[in-house]
Chain A
Amino acid sequence: QVQLQQWGAGLLKPSESLSLTCAVYGGSFSGYYWNWIRQSPGKGLEWIGVINHDGNTNYNPSLERRVAISLDASKNQFSLRLDSMTAADTAIYYCSRGNGYDWGFYFDHWSQGSMVTVSS
């Protein structure tokens, strides 16, 4: 039974950086793609980026100047950093397992999500 559990700060001031970590329990870490996705009333579900077990990353072009995803394979954890946060980044953030191919995947397991609010 695969489970994803995330944690990190939930309230940030404008210009601060978001840092979230996701731990993966059960199942194999290799062979899958580890993603961050966010959801807001304004933009709906928005894919942020992915890292595979080799540490290769891809990011949403709209966010790639501000985002970094890293991996600690020894702990089955991966992390998100999003810089220069603004109110437009207020959303529920999820980590998720991608299943598919290097060029595309669907999301078969999700974390419980956490609300991140950016406010002065």
Chain B
Amino acid sequence: GQSLEQPSEVTAVEGAIVQINCTYQTSGFYGLSWYQQHDGGAPTFLSYNALDGLEETGRFSSFLSRSDSYGYLLLQELQMKDSASYFCAVRDSNAGNNRKLIWGLGTSLAVNP
């Protein structure tokens, strides 16, 4: 079957760095995305990796290793407002051109003072 695994919960303190891992098993692979969702809110796009390596966007970075079927989201200089759920999602290359995503169950990040 197709699945994505990520930790269910992560706790960190303000100013720290946290890494949220995602491993995937899919029949095909086109790219790995990350979304943030605050409680009661809608998911919002953070990043997308199609090639191996690190993509940096401000305090957030995302990494992909296609050979290991693994990626991570790195959050630096944590702020209280970063407390949210973070979802990884894979676009399956065998799903045709419909851009459907396979979603992980999400990682709940709690940032403490």
A in complex with B: no
